[in-house]
């Protein structure tokens, strides 16, 4: 079938289309109903276990000896390969370790860990026993971890003694202790993996040593769960300081991820697939852990950076070392590599025979970067678009379905199963090529979120502005050939090095400084990271120690949210541009920091503020 035929089938008969895709998995009870329209639930009567499909069934199919998880840590020098049989053994015992602490089906388990194999074992172990994991990115600070602990109320928190950033060791345990002392909810216990580079102090009675608990545990088997049961909660930035707990189900998620590995990425069982992301983000959940393993691929777990660990050649050396067929990373990583290796000498030095395509996502892939890397690699470089809420790509070039036409500047076409619309503020469809709000028609395909943890109202709000549609939060346009172009967020979310952050949340932290009267944080275009935060701050009359305040504000953002959110600049101004009704004109501030033409709105309270702010931002 051609791509067009497949897309037409998904459009005209989604139920049959996704039932066929579901047949690619082992089900304890194959669903009889594809989709419950009223509740908007996929495979409502299906029963399955995601871990069984990602691990055990490959062993049962005689592939126990083939590689499943390849760990590469250029910072520590550690490297290891786990076969599917190894993975089964480790996951089953890790699951036993959780059960020994009383974790049961439906209980939540927070995983705050660096990129080590135990983190992957832990995620799969939760899936094995029907517990719901919530992985918190290691770069988040203690207050962010505490918020997530309070929201999902885990029975256990799993962590490690440390992680590594180039040139420094990040002690996780003090962050965990700090978070647990802030959180109202107290988990029954923590289990801490002691890395040999740094031992953490364990609190008797509360903290367990991972190795001892693991050694004492008995392996446990997969339990059957309902397809609609939650597999995980992943918190992502919304427009306020409270993160959104995206809930992912088991059956729909496993179905689409398994399908996407072949259809989008063009990989098959036995291939090596590498998503150079972090398990703390949705890309890591879907394409470091679940997608490749569901398909029976070997997945690469990389504890390092695209540059500096040790150099800009690490991606290409590891592609060669492990015969990686598909590599997936963020455009920022490619910009960093280009900066360090502008002639592509490391690329030339590698054979890259195994590599068939490079996929980019997480932020806008600027055509210059995309074309540079495509030229250097001599392979297809494919931009694709998705969100934590959706869980898998919604706009892509479906390489595995034979789509090859790439238009730099566009993220590709709608993936089968997704129906995009571009509308204006009044709800009218925009003509081809015109920019508007990017929407997806309901029902969303399997795998996409069906609720937010503890917050069904906030979930419903995402469907309210344009009834019958999910509002993506991005502006975009669809050209005459169906290519979808993403223009950026329409809300208070920015993407820094592919990491999704809320400027509203940063404003809350800045506003907490005792000398700050008001502030606005906007995303400024950044040559390396795509976007970075810039803060405009008004301090109390008479306060002049701006250098000190700047230091304190940056320290608070790093300490309250995490170092990844550190702003690029802080400008102290006498006032912020506002409408007569008092609304801060953040778009105008964004134009100012980006050097764009500033259109003075009719509604502005005091046009003179603009010149003043421009001077401060320039100086
Ligand atoms: N734990 C603790 N700290 C972390 C962290 C983690 N997991 N991840 C990042 N940080 C820290 C960094 O050490 C840095 O701290 P510093 O300001 O004290 O130096 C800060 O957060 C910013 O990190 P980062 O955004 O990674 O910038 P960088 O300058 O250290 O590195 C790049 C630049 C380009 C190498 C890096 O941004 C990168 O690898 N980008 C690709 C990102 C990516 O793959 N995203 C995928 C999401 S799908
Ligand atoms: P996250 O939920 O962290 O995956 O972030 C989702 C947001 O990242 C989207 O709403 C977009 O704004 C942005 N994004 C992701 N992929 C792309 C892409 N390929 N092009 C442009 N923006 C992207």
Run of H or E including 133 = strand 132-135
- 239 pLDDT band (50/70/90 cuts)? confident
Whether residue 238 is predicted with pLDDT greater than 90 in this model: the reply is: no
> Is there a contact between 437 and 424 (Cβ–Cβ < 8 Å)?
yes
pLDDT at 240 over 90: no
Give the pLDDT confidence of 484-538 residue by residue, as tens digits.
999 999 999 999 999 999 999 999 999 999 999 999 999 999 999 999 999 999 9
Cβ atoms of 73 and 79 within 8 Å: the answer is yes
What pLDDT is stored for residue 21 in this prediction? 98
For 499, phi then psi, to 5°, come to -95, 130
* Residue of 382, 277, 265 lying closest to 326 (CA atoms): 265
Determine the pLDDT at residue 105: 98
DSSP-based three-state secondary structure for 260:
helix
Atom of ligand 1 nearest to the CA of 284: 48
Mean pLDDT of the chain: 97
Q: Rounded to an integer, what distance in angstroms lies between the CA atom of residue 390 and that of residue 392? A: 6
CA–CA distance, 389 with 617 (Å, rounded to integer):
35
For 306, how many CA atoms within 13 A lie in the half-sphere containing its CB?
24
Q: Where does the chain hold its CATH 3.40.50.12780 domain(s)?
A: 3-304+384-438
Q: What is the 3-state secondary structure (H, E, C) of 341-396?
A: CCCCHHHHHCCCCCCCEEEECCCCCCHHHHHHHHHHHCCCEEECECCCCCCCCCEE
268 Cβ contact list (under 8 Å, min separation 6): 262, 295, 297
The residue-averaged pLDDT of 356-364 equals 97
For 510-555, give the DSSP string: HHTSTTEEEEEEEEEEETTTEEEEEEEEEEPTT---HHHHHHHHHH
Asked if the bond preceding 547 is cis, omega within 30° of 0, the reply is no
Q: Give tens-digit pLDDT for 317-331.
A: 999 999 999 999 999
Q: What is the CATH code for 3-304+384-438?
A: 3.40.50.12780
Q: How many whole angstroms from 564 Cα to the centroid of ligand 1? A: 6
Q: Which of 363, 395, 462, 531 to mutate to test the pocket of ligand 2 (most atoms within 8 A of CB)?
A: 363
In this prediction, residue 342 has a pLDDT band, given cuts at 50, 70 and 90, of very high
The percent of residues above 70 in pLDDT, for the chain, comes to 100
Ligand nearest to the Cα of 166, by number = 1
**Would you say the CB of residue 497 lies under 6 angstroms from ligand 1?**
yes
418 CA to middle of ligand 2, Å?
Answer: 16
* Residue pair 159/172 in contact by the 8 Å Cβ criterion: yes
Compute the distance from residue 151 Cα to the ligand 1 centre, in Å.
26
Q: Binning pLDDT at 50, 70 and 90, where does residue 600 land?
A: confident
Q: Is the CB of 277 under 6 A from ligand 1?
A: yes
Sorting pLDDT into bands at 50, 70 and 90, what band is 601? confident
Do residues 361 and 393 lie in contact, with contact meaning Cβ atoms separated by under 8 Å?
A: yes
pLDDT at site 368: 97
Whether residue 429 has pLDDT greater than 90: yes
Q: What is the C-alpha end-to-end distance of the chain, expressed in Å?
A: 59
For residue range 95-147, what is the model confidence (pLDDT) as tens digits?
Answer: 999 999 999 999 999 999 999 999 999 999 999 999 999 999 999 999 999 99
Residue 599 has pLDDT above 90, yes or no: no
Tell me the per-residue pLDDT of 271-294, one tens digit each, with 9 for 90 and over: 999 999 999 999 999 999 999 999
Q: Among the atoms of ligand 1, which is closest to the Cα of residue 276?
A: 44
Cβ 534 vs Cβ 568: under 8 Å: yes
Mean pLDDT of all residues in 167-181: 97
Residue with the smallest CA separation from ligand 1 atom 38 is: 333
**Ligand 2 contact, 526 CB (< 6 A):** no
Exposure b/e, 559-590, CB count within 10 A at least 16 = b: ebbbebbbbeebbbbeebbbeeeeebbbebbb
How many whole angstroms separate alpha carbon 613 and alpha carbon 194?
A: 50
> How confident is the model over 372-393, as pLDDT tens digits?
999 999 999 999 999 999 999 9
Residue 364 near ligand 2, beta carbon < 6 Å: yes
pTM > 0.85: yes or no: yes
Q: Which CATH number fits domain 500-618: 1.20.1050.10, 3.40.50.10320, 3.30.2320.30, 3.30.300.30?
A: 3.30.300.30
Q: Provide CATH 3.30.300.30 ranges for the chain.
A: 500-618
């Amino acid at each position: 079938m051609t791509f067009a035929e497949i897309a037409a089938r998904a459009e005209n008969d989604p139920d049959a289309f996704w039932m066929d895709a579901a047949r690619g998995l082992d089900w304890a009870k194959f669903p009889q109903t594809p989709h419950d329209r009223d509740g908007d639930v996929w495979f409502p009567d299906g029963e399955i276990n995601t871990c069984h499909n990602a691990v055990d069934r490959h062993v049962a199919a005689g592939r126990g000896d083939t590689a499943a998880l390849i760990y590469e840590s250029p910072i520590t020098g550690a490297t290891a390969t786990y076969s599917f049989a190894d993975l089964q053994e480790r996951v089953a015992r890790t699951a036993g370790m959780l059960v020994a602490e009383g974790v049961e089906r439906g209980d939540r388990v927070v995983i705050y860990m660096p990129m080590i194999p135990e983190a992957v074992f832990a995620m799969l172990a939760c899936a094995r026993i029907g517990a719901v994991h919530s992985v918190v990115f290691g770069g988040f600070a203690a207050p962010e971890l505490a918020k997530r602990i309070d929201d999902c109320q885990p029975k256990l928190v799993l962590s490690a003694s440390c992680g590594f950033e180039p040139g420094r060791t990040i002690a996780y345990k003090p962050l965990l202790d700090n978070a647990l002392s802030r959180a109202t909810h107290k988990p029954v216990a923590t289990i801490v993996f002691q890395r040999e580079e740094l031992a953490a102090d364990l609190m008797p009675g509360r903290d367990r040593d991972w190795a001892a608990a693991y050694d004492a545990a008995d392996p446990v088997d997969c339990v059957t769960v309902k397809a609609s049961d939650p597999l995980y909660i992943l918190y992502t930035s919304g427009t306020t300081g409270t993160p959104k707990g995206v809930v992912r189900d088991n059956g729909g998620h496993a179905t689409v991820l398994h399908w996407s590995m072949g259809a989008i990425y063009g990989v098959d069982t036995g291939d090596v697939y590498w998503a150079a992301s972090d398990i703390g983000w949705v890309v890591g959940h879907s394409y470091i852990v679940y997608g490749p393993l569901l398909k029976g691929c070997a997945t690469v777990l990389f504890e390092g950076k695209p540059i500096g660990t040790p150099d800009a050649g690490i991606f290409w050396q590891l592609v060669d070392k492990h015969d990686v067929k598909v590599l997936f990373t963020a455009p920022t990583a490619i910009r960093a590599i280009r900066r360090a290796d502008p002639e592509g000498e490391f690329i030339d030095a590698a054979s890259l025979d195994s590599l068939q395509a490079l996929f980019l996502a997480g932020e806008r892939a600027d055509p210059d970067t995309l074309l540079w890397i495509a030229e250097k690699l001599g392979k297809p470089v494919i931009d694709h678009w998705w969100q934590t809420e959706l869980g898998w790509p919604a706009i892509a070039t479906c390489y595995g379905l034979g789509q090859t036409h790439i238009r730099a500047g566009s993220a590709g076409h709608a993936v089968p199963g997704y129906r995009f619309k571009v509308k204006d503020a009044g709800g009218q469809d925009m003509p081809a090529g015109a920019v508007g709000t990017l929407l997806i028609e309901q029902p969303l395909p399997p795998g996409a979120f069906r609720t937010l943890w503890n917050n069904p109202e906030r979930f419903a709000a995402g469907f309210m502005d344009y009834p019958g549609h999910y509002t993506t939060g991005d502006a975009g346009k669809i050209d005459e050939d169906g290519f979808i172009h993403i223009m950026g967020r329409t809300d208070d979310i920015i993407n820094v090095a592919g990491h999704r952050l809320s400027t509203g949340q940063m404003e809350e932290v800045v506003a907490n400084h005792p000398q700050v009267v008001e502030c606005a944080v906007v995303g400024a275009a950044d040559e390396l990271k795509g976007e970075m935060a810039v803060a405009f701050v008004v301090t109390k009359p008479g306060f002049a120690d701006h250098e000190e305040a700047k230091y304190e504000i940056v320290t608070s953002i790093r300490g309250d949210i995490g170092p990844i959110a550190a702003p690029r600049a802080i400008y102290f101004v006498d006032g912020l541009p506002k409408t007569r009704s008092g609304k801060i004109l953040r778009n105008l501030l964004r134009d100012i920091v980006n050097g764009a033409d500033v259109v003075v709105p009719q509604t502005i309270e005091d046009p003179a503020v603009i010149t003043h702010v421009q001077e401060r931002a320039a100086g």
